[in-house]
Each structure stands twice: as structure tokens, then as C-alpha cells.
Amino acid sequence: MTWYVAVSLSALVVMSYLLVKVRWQMRKLEEQLRFVQDKQSDGILVSDIRILGIGKLTDSLNEILQKQRSNRQEWVQKEKRLVQTYTNLSHDIRTPLTSLDGYFQLLEDTEDAKERTRYLQIIQERIHALRDMLEELFTYTKLESRSYEVPLTKCDFGALVKEALFSYYNEWQKQQMEPQLQLEEGALWVLGNDQAMRRVLQNVIKNVWEHGGRHVKIVLSEQEGEACLLVQNEVMHPEYIDVERIFERFYKADLARSTTSSGLGMAIARQLVEQMNGQITADLQENIFSICLQFVCIRS
């Protein structure tokens, strides 16, 4: 009987000690948690004991805190990008408007017929550039809508590529570019959308005109059941290009944002390609910039 009482008392003492220790640890965890939350600290919660689920509770709380920090950092980055987007958009729209105002003033001040013709031509070009910019913005906004879907049908990717390349023959001449072409013969059927595909190809080609050197290589092929288009061109300042951001909205390798493009062309291309279940990637090796389009071929 004496032995039983002694064991019971010992167990009671141990349990009381553990209870006090657990309550103390819970208070310490509460204090640490409040400090971390109030101070937005990057610290973690530490527990001196791991028994009775205290260790698992501490680990779970640290996981929750880490997720909160990640979400907070992501939100801060999104806010920064949003502010930068508004700044860039304001600059890109204001620039052609300011230019237009200046040329209208010059037009009013001159009576020389040749000068007036030249100013009118420049004004028309600026208006077209502004119109294209606003159209790109509208298209991107539409594509960002979750309710918008590109209807998919069977289309000949090879024929669309050749059509796009040769329809811009005069522009290639104007840009003093003579692309080296390697084009797969025959049809390359994919599941896509003719209009969307033309827009993608147009934006990729325009990107070459705006940022490329005179040497351009375009390869159309079928590889492992996929229709592939590789567009390569030299770039004058590869150090200005951030490949990871090529498909971001409003991204321009032109740091001064002096070009009249919207910076949405490649973002729109990516959205449309993804809507058609394809892939578009960018790469930069030394001074050679590449865009690659890939779509799964379907058989007749």
C-alpha cells in the first residue's frame, strides 16, 4: 500500500511539473507570436519542450508564419510592379501626345508646302502608333479576363508562318533585313486559332524589327510531333535584356522607353499561345536573342 501511494504521489508530482512546464511554454509561444506579428519580424518561434504536441504546434505555427511572410513579400512586389506599370503606361501614352502637340505647333508655324507635308506625315505616324498602343492595351485587358476564351479549330501553322513572313516583305526591306529562312515543307496542322496565331506571329516579328540587328534567322520545323518556330536575331545591347521579364506586361529592353511600342506585344503573344495550349519561350546567348513557339501537331 505504501509503495502504491508513493508511486501515485510521484506520478502526480511529475504530471503537475509537466502541466506547469506546458503552461509556461504556451505563454512563451504566445509572447513570441505576438512579438513576431507586431514587429513584422522574420524570426521563428522556439519551444524548449517538444512533448504533449508542443513541438508539432510550434512547427505548424512557424509554417503559417512563413506562408504569411511569403504572401506579404509577394503582395509588396505586386504593388511595386503595379505602380511601375501605371508609371510606364502614363509615360508611354504621354510621349506620343507631347510629340503630336509639338508637330501640330510646327505645322501651324510654317507655310512651306514641303515642310507641311513632312509634318503631316509625322503626325499621321504618331497617331497610328498611339492607336496601335491603345489597341494592344485593350487586347491585353481582354485576354486577362478569365471569361475570355480563344475558340480552337484545326489550322495549318506552317501556312500561317509563311503567310506572315511574306506579307511583311516590304517591311523587311524597309528595315534593311533579309532573314535567313529554313521552312518545313508541307502542312503542320495544330489545334489553334487563325486570327490569334496571326497576332502572335505579328508581335514576334515586330519584336525583331524593334529590337533586332540586321541578321535574322527563322526556322520552321516539326520536331517530335511538335510544330516549332524559332526566330533568332542579333541584338545591339544584350546587357539591357532581362530574358526572365520578356513576357511581362509593359516590359521594354529600351530602358529610356523611347520606342513607340506599348511593351505589351510579347505579353499578348504569351497569353494567346497559352490559350491555344502552346508554349513560347525566350533565350539569350551572348548577342543572339531567340523566341521559340511550339504547338502539338495533330494528324488528319
List, for residues 153-190, the tens digit of each pLDDT value: 999 999 999 999 888 888 878 877 888 899 988 899 99
- Per-residue pLDDT, averaged over 53-68, amounts to 78
Number of domains in the chain: 3
Are 285 and 165 in a shared domain? Answer: yes
Mean pLDDT of 59-68: 80
96 and 208 fall within a common domain: no
Between residues 165 and 19, the one the model is more confident about: 165
* 28 and 110 part of one domain: no
For 145, the enclosing helix (H) or strand (E) is none
CATH number for the domain spanning 101: value is 1.10.287
Neighbours of 191 (CB within 10 A): 16
Does residue 261 sit within a domain? yes
Averaged pLDDT for residues 30-51: 72
Residue 183 CA to residue 164 CA, distance in Å, equals 13
pLDDT digits (tens, 9 = 90+) for 84-128: 766 766 766 776 777 778 888 888 888 888 888 888 888 887 787
Residue 79 lies in a domain: no
**What's the chain's average pLDDT?**
79
> In this predicted structure, what is the pLDDT of residue 36?
74
pTM above 0.75, yes or no: no
In a domain, 32, yes or no: yes
User: Once rounded to an integer, what is the mean pLDDT over residues 48-59?
Assistant: 71
Q: Give the pLDDT confidence score for residue 192 in this predicted structure.
A: 93
* Residue 214 dihedral angles phi and psi, to the nearest 5°: -80, -20
Distance CA 281, CA 262 (A): 20
Q: Give percent of the chain with pLDDT exceeding 90.
A: 21
Residue 92 forms part of a structural domain: yes
Neighbours of 99 (CB within 10 A): 17
- 114 and 20 within one domain: no
Question: Do 50 and 124 share a domain, yes or no?
Answer: no
Within-domain flag for 78 = no
Q: Which of 43, 73, 103 is the last residue of a domain?
A: 73
pLDDT at position 197, please? 93
Indicate whether 81 belongs to any domain.
no
pLDDT of residue 256: 45
Q: Is residue 82 part of a domain?
A: no
Q: Is there a single domain that holds both residue 127 and residue 64?
A: no
Residue 280 has pLDDT above 90, yes or no: yes
93 and 42 in a common domain: no
284 and 173 housed in the same domain: yes
Residue 106's domain comprises 87-144
> At 260, which CATH number?
3.30.565.10
pLDDT at position 257 is 46
Highest mean pLDDT among 37-51, 88-102, 203-217: 203-217
Contact between 289 and 283 (Cβ < 8 Å)? yes
Instruction: List Cβ neighbours of 256 (8 Å cut-off, separation of 6 or more).
Output: none
Residue 80 lies in a domain: no
CB 179 within 8 A of CB 216: yes
Q: Residue 27 burial (CB < 10 Å; 0-12/13-18/19+)?
A: exposed
- Region 217-224 average pLDDT: 92
Same domain, 202 and 274: yes
DSSP output for 59-91:
HHHHHHHHHHHHHHHHHHHHHHHHHHHHHHHHH
pLDDT at position 268: 87
Residues 195 and 260 in one domain: yes
Does 29 score more than 60 pLDDT? yes
- Mean pLDDT value across residues 242-251: 80
Least confident of 110-119, 141-150, 188-197: 141-150
